[in-house]
Structure 1
Amino acid sequence: MSSEHTMLLLPVAVSMALLLVGAVAATKTTTHLKFYMHDIVTAVPSSPATAVRVARAATPLPLEPAVRFGDVFVIDDALTEGPNATSPAVGTAQGYYMYASRTDAALMLSVNMVFTAGPHNGSTIAVLGRDAILDPVRELPVVGGTGVFRGATGYGLLRTYLINGTTFNAVLQVDMYVHARV
């Protein structure tokens, strides 16, 4: 094939490749998931701890003395359909969070939502971002996933549903908006 023919076919090949990429991208759908995350910092008779402090910093925050910049927790929190701990399980939130601000109660959260029941069983959603825990609604980015959520993007909205001021055990309402190919 001569270089003239190659030059003539190149625009056709590029156009077809772009059409193919567009067709593949068009198959992405948005899935809304709602569940509750149970972060148990202090074990109670009804539940063992699911958030374990692995590093404790020296200096408390000015307005939140129970919180220390640099505290790190590893988590394996239950995910349930409803806010009650006895609600049907949908999975676990596995990862870590650390207090990453010297001035306010803000976490750097890195977590995999591991689904163990229902239509998403065996799939995961990866979340990584800043969680300003005193804000009524926090938005965190979805940075990936596996299974039906392979290559996912999107975001999660976190709301504190319940927090115990003595034990610091909390229940979070999580609304995930996940864009993935089906």
Structure 2
Amino acid sequence: MLFRRRKPADFGERVRTLLWPRRSFWRSAQYFAKRVLRLTATPHAIAAGVAAGVFVSFLPFLGLHFLLAGVFAWIMAGNLIASAFGTAIGNPLTFPLIWAATYKTGCMILGYGKAGEADPLHLGHKLGHLDFAQLWDPLLKPMTVGGIPLGMAFAIGFYLLTRWSVAAFRKQRQNRLLERAKRRAEAQPVGAAAGG
């Protein structure tokens, strides 16, 4: 393979790269943005897919984000690949902020007391015994209720930004291609064009 590493990355290096990219987070974000802009679909389909992924990232159902994003993208006639890219908004750096915001918003909407005022959850014990019913009311329900309005607000913002970006990128690319064709036509000798 042409661009394979000489020394394959071990497990520790792969985990480190997953949590902290080798170059920078900005470069990774630029990579994702360029991949989204170059998708072959309508601007609405790409933007709807990204919006579906962003919305799902605000829900507390880890492990189901790709599947749920794909379902929402399909419902909105969005691009499935763009929905997978949209879920990248939820990552190890942003999840603590997202979860705290959705939990507090959900507690406010549901009329629970101040967030964090309830008895401790003993999360490790409940997860160890798979007590989903006991996790739903004090934790997952407020996060889901709070995640819906926050997710929708961010999804609308990302939809508008993505749709505008895709349309601008395609217009700029079309102008570049027209300019290149015009230069080629001007560079071609007159006799060759008439005799060809």
More strand by share: 1
TM over 0.5: no
Q: Which has the larger radius of gyration?
A: 2
Higher relative contact order (CA 8 A, sep 6+): 2
More helix by share: 2
TM-score range, shorter chain: under 0.3
